[in-house]
Each structure stands twice: as structure tokens, then as C-alpha cells.
């Protein structure tokens, strides 16, 4: 079990989950209805199933690449801890579970579930032909708030789409920073990424620009949401300021320490930012 949880990087679910949950509560507030705990459970399950399918597929597709990279050769499939067929089986089971759970939520979620799988699974192939792969990953995680809102309301709306764009920018930016580790390896093996295409210093500036746009988008969303739901209080603004601050803190870590603190910048900073912001918005909605 520990090996499979490591394979799918289960802890990374924390990146998108708070945004799915805040979209769930925004949907409740918009319709002025009580919490449907069954739908809440289904959203959690969809997040787990989709994330598990995406990560297992990424590890399966990249197994030969990972075996050549000193940084990734210790991963479960290259090291022989998990067999490729077992990982592929997991992908199929998790994808099917995701679609079944989407069916149980509402028809629109079910109809859109194959498209969601296409994005999150298809991402694994994109670095073979485009340096825009980071944005495809961002798009995959950006579907979380949109999907959660649809699960509650059964329809699209502008606000969750705005959140989705913001998440896409956030994830794209920190994935570019994370890809700095493999700049030379990607070049030598014909793989595409922003660092491999533009170099390390330019990649850092591109990531900073993307995160600056993300911060602007976040404050626009906060203002827009306060117009739709006047009951919003100061917690939402505090959460937005904290999130933006942590965005730039990770860039400070990368600029100051280069790759020495990349894991702290990637895992800790972004995880804390997501949890704190999501909690602030949800508490604000419920208070």
C-alpha cells in the first residue's frame, strides 16, 4: 500500500482539493441549499480517483524515461517495486471508478468525465512534443473547482471557471520551477519543457510572470466574489494575500538557493498556500 501511495504521490492531492471544496461550498451558497454529504463524498472520491489514475498513468508512460534519469530511477516502476502491468491496471480501475462516481453525481458530470480523463491522462505525452506541457498539467488541476461546482449545481458558471484559470496559472508556474531539475536531461533526451527550451534563468522569469498573473487573477476573483456574495468577510482577502505572498516566497527560495530548496518551494509552500486559502474561503462562506 505504501508503494502504491508513493506511486501516485497521494499527498499531492492537497494541491487541487481545497479549490474543489471551496467551489462545492460556493455552489451551496449560490443556490442557498444545505450540504448534501453524499455529493460531498462523491467529490472527494472523484478527486482521489482522478488523481490516482493520472499519476499512475504518468509513471507508466514515463517508466523508460525515469529509468534513465538519476533523479527518478528510484521511482517504483524503474526500481521494480511495482510492475508496469500493475500500474496500468490501477489506471484502468481508477478511471472506471472516476466515471462511475461522476455518473452518480449528475448527468453533466458523467458526460464531461471522459473529457477530464483525456486532459489529465493526455498530459503525460505532451512533454514529448511541446514545452507547453506545464499548462496542460495546470489545466488538468484547474478542472477541479469547475467540476465540483457542476457537481452541486449541475451547470457551468463564470466564477468557478475563473478559479479554474487561476489554478491553471498557479500550477503551471510551480511546475516550471520544478522542471528546472531536469533541464539538461530533457534537452539530451529530446523532451520538451520551458527550462529546456528557454534556459534556467529565462524559465524562472517566465514562472514569475505566470505567478504574477495568477496573483492578479486571484484578487480579481476575490473582488468579483465579494460583489456576488456580499456576506463575504475579511478572511477571504486575508487568504488571498497569504496565497499571493507564498507564491512569491517560493520564487525567493528558488532565486536565492537555486535548486537546493526546490522541494520546499514546490511541496511545502504550495501545499500550505492551497490549504490556507481554501480554509479561509470556506470559513468565510460558512460564517
What is the CATH classification number for the domain harbouring 9? Answer: 1.10.357.140
Q: Is the model's pLDDT at 160 over the cut of 70?
A: yes
Output the DSSP codes for the chain.
-HHHHHHTTGGGGGTTHHHHHHHHHHHHHHHT----HHHHHHHHHHHHHHHHHHHHHHHHHTHHHHHH-TTTTTSTTTTTSS-HHHHHHHHHHHHHHHHHHHHHH-HHHHHHHHHHHHHHHHHHHHTTT-TTHHHHHHHHHHHHHHHHHHHHHSS--HHHHHHHHHHHHHHHHHHHHHGGGGHHHHHHTT---HHHHH-HHHHHHHHHHHHHHHHHHHHHHHHHHHHH-TT--HHHHHHHHHHHHHHHHHHHHHHHHTTTTHHIIIIIIHHHHHHHHHHHHHHHHH-
Q: How many domains does the chain divide into?
A: 1
Q: Is the model's pLDDT at 8 over the cut of 60?
A: no
Domain that holds residue 278: 2-286
- pLDDT tens digits, 194-251: 999 999 999 999 999 999 999 999 999 999 888 877 666 788 899 999 999 999 999 9
pTM of the entire predicted model: 0.93
Amino acid at each position: 500500500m505504501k508503494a502504491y501511495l508513493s506511486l501516485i504521490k497521494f499527498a499531492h492531492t492537497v494541491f487541487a482539493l481545497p479549490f474543489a471544496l471551496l467551489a462545492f461550498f460556493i455552489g451551496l451558497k449560490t443556490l442557498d441549499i444545505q450540504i448534501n454529504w453524499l455529493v460531498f463524498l462523491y467529490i472527494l472520491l472523484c478527486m482521489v480517483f482522478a488523481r490516482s489514475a493520472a499519476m499512475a498513468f504518468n509513471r507508466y508512460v514515463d517508466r523508460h524515461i525515469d529509468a534513465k534519469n538519476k533523479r527518478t530511477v528510484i521511482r517504483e516502476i524503474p526500481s521494480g517495486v511495482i510492475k508496469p502491468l500493475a500500474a496500468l491496471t490501477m489506471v484502468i480501475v481508477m478511471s472506471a471508478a472516476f466515471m462511475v462516481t461522476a455518473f452518480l453525481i449528475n448527468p453533466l458530470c458523467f458526460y464531461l468525465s471522459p473529457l477530464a480523463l483525456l486532459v489529465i491522462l493526455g498530459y503525460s505525452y505532451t512533454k514529448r512534443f511541446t514545452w507547453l506541457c506545464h499548462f496542460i498539467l495546470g489545466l488538468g488541476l484547474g478542472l477541479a473547482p469547475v467540476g465540483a461546482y457542476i457537481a452541486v449545481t449541475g451547470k457551468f458558471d463564470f466564477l468557478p471557471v475563473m478559479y479554474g484559470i487561476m489554478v491553471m496559472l498557479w500550477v503551471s508556474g510551480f511546475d516550471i520551477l520544478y522542471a528546472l531539475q531536469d533541464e539538461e536531461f530533457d534537452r539530451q533526451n529530446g523532451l520538451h519543457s520551458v527550462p529546456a527550451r528557454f534556459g534556467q534563468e529565462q524559465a524562472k522569469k517566465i514562472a514569475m510572470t505566470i505567478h504574477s498573473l495568477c496573483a492578479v487573477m486571484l484578487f480579481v476573483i476575490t473582488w468579483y466574489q465579494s460583489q456576488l456574495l456580499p456576506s463575504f468577510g475579511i478572511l477571504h482577502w486575508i487568504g488571498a494575500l497569504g496565497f499571493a505572498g507564498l507564491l512569491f516566497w517560493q520564487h525567493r527560495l528558488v532565486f536565492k538557493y537555486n535548486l537546493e530548496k526546490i522541494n520546499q518551494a514546490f511541496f511545502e509552500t504550495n501545499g500550505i498556500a492551497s490549504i490556507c486559502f481554501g480554509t479561509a474561503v470556506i470559513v468565510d462562506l460558512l460564517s
